[in-house]
Amino acid sequence: MIIKYFSWIKEHVGKSEELIVLPDHINNVNELINYLNELDKKYSLILEKKNLIKIAVNKTYSSFDTNISNNDEIAFFPPVTGG
């Protein structure tokens, strides 16, 4: 699975993307966030800012309960500020 981070989330995590092997017991975005948080405290920001952070699964806006698999691309980013 590819995980992408943008804006200040990218700066906090220290990378723009990473490849992970999704454990079998992780079925949705919520579970992925909890799993990442257990791996390393740097991911706790995503948990803490859960009400603010946007999620895309395969480049489509998604929610915390969206189902995911190892072939998916997940992105975490702040509310957008273009234009």
Partner 1 sequence: MSKNFPFIKIKIQNEDFDVSDEIKNLHQNNTGAIVNFIGVVRGYDEKNNQIINSMTLEHYPGMTESEIEKIVFESSQRWELTGVTVIHRVGNLKPSDQIVFVCVSSKHRQNAFDGCNFIMDWLKTKAPFWKVEENNNKKNWVSFNENDNQALKKWQK
Asked if 75 touches partner 1 (CB under 8 A), the answer is yes
Q: Out of 8, 40, 47, 48, which residue is the one contacting partner 1 (CB under 8 A)?
A: 8
Using the rule CB under 8 A, is 49 a contact of partner 1?
no
Contacts by 79-82 with C-beta closer than 8 Å and gap 24+?
79/52, 79/54, 80/54
Check: CB of residue 76 under 8 Å from CB of residue 10: no
51 binds partner 1 (CB under 8 A): no
Q: Which residues bind partner 1 (CB under 8 A)?
A: 4, 6-8, 56, 59-61, 75, 77-83
